[in-house]
Amino acid sequence: MQDRVILAVLAITLGVVVAVLVFVPFVALSFRRRGGFGVRRFLLWGAALVAVMAIWTYTLLPLPDPDAIRCAGVNVDVTALADDVRGAIARRGSAAAGDPAVTQLLLNVLLFVPLGFFIRVLGGRGVVTALVVGAALSAFIEVTQLTGVWGLYPCAYRVFDVDDLLTNTLGAVLGSLLGLVVPRRLRGSPRLPGADEPRPVTRGRRLLGILCDALAAWVLGLAVIVMVQVSLYLLGAESAVQDGSAATVVGSVVPIVLWLVVTLATGRTIGDHAVELRFAGGPLPVGLARALRFVGGIGGWMVLNSLPGAWAFVAGVFAVLSVVLLLVTPDGRGLPGLASGQRVVDARVPEDR
């Protein structure tokens, strides 16, 4: 039981990590296909990620010590499943569900139920697709086990079991049928009519853009740090790897430069692009207004946050002040709007309006 709880926690953790990594692209896609961002839909996709991670963790983990594994066998007898159920009924009667063999079969079914459910609700596909995807994914997992994780181990450390293939596929089909309880209009991810029409600029939308900027900058900075550290390690610069300062500096500078280039070129930060917002008008020349929009927004915060010592506190004050001004200024233009003298509008509004 404890191992199952640990695997469940791991699946949830991995699902959350992936959800964070794909959050900004998800927001951008939502605004372009559905006209805006829906928290409930994002949570539903997050649940789907957790379900996929659960399939992986429960079927392939924990990975054993290569020196301590015992080679597992193979079961390709398609009648073994029925024999296990009959044997459990003979032994326990109406309490057969409590038999370990039947419990394992039921868990195999339940593990793939969410997959079929999300294929219908989020993918808009029916039973046939759920059956094919469920069977293919289960077969991939079984072959992965059979090959010792594709040669990572000298032999299979778990049994290749055709019963698992059958029960997993059954679970995906049952999940697809369960998805029929969701109204048809809520299934799938179609492009909604009018998704490209301008929408009101709300303060919530502005905050979402700021969140996208901060999250994307953090993810990019972290990815750059990892790449620099790996590169230094491959080059044999172990002292620089242990020190970490070079990677930290590069990881701070790259997002600043990227956001500056994007803002000067388009007048919009990456977060603005994600939520379809732009700053327009104002008395200042376009280039100067864009530079001030950058400094008064995510750019100023990134620069302050990259400085050593007490500057981290100043960056925190800057962030709090930015949120406060966003809440109290007209149309949520906030500090970027005050600095550039511009107003914030929906990016889908024609330039001449």
- Domain containing 96 equals 68-195
Q: Are residues 188 and 260 in the same domain?
A: no
154 preceded by a cis bond (ω within 30 of 0): no
* Domain limit, last residue, from 179, 195, 211: 195
Q: Say how far apart CA 88 and CA 97 lie, in whole Å.
A: 8
pLDDT for residue 290: 94
The number of domains in the chain is 3
* Domain limit, last residue, from 195, 221, 248: 195
Residue 29 lies in a domain: yes
Tell how strand 343-346 and strand 277-280 pair up.
Answer: antiparallel
* pLDDT < 70: residue spans in the chain: 1-4, 77-102, 352-353
Q: Are residues 252 and 223 in the same domain?
A: yes
First to last CA, the chain: 63
- Would you put residue 169 in left (φ > 0), alpha (ψ -120 to 50) or beta? alpha
Q: Say how far apart CA 292 and CA 286 lie, in whole Å.
A: 10
Say what the pTM is: 0.83
Q: Are residues 83 and 48 in the same domain?
A: no
pLDDT tens profile 172-190: 999 999 999 988 877 777 7
What is the CB neighbour count within 10 angstroms for residue 46? 19
Q: Say how far apart CA 33 and CA 35 lie, in whole Å.
A: 6
pLDDT for residue 353: 46
Q: Say how far apart CA 144 and CA 60 lie, in whole Å.
A: 8
Neighbouring C-alpha atoms within 13 Å toward the C-beta of 267: 21
Which DSSP state fits 280? E
Residue 236 lies in a domain: yes
Q: Are residues 12 and 127 in the same domain?
A: no
Q: Are residues 105 and 28 in the same domain?
A: no
Residue 351 lies in a domain: no
pLDDT for residue 91: 62
Q: What are φ and ψ of residue 69, in 5° steps?
A: -80, 155
Strand locations in the chain (E): 74-75, 160-161, 277-280, 343-346
Handedness of CA 124, 126, 130, 132 (dihedral sign): negative
pLDDT for residue 4: 67
Q: Are residues 333 and 212 in the same domain?
A: yes
* Domain limit, last residue, from 62, 94, 114: 62
Q: Are residues 104 and 153 in the same domain?
A: yes
Residue 248 lies in a domain: yes
Residue 352 lies in a domain: no
pLDDT for residue 64: 75
Residue 106 lies in a domain: yes
Q: Are residues 332 and 208 in the same domain?
A: yes
Identify the CA nearest to 27 among candidates 346, 332, 331, 271: 271
Residue 353 lies in a domain: no
Q: Are residues 229 and 326 in the same domain?
A: yes
- Would you put residue 344 in left (φ > 0), alpha (ψ -120 to 50) or beta? beta
Q: Are residues 263 and 309 in the same domain?
A: yes
Q: Are residues 132 and 220 in the same domain?
A: no
Residue 180 lies in a domain: yes
Q: Are residues 182 and 209 in the same domain?
A: no
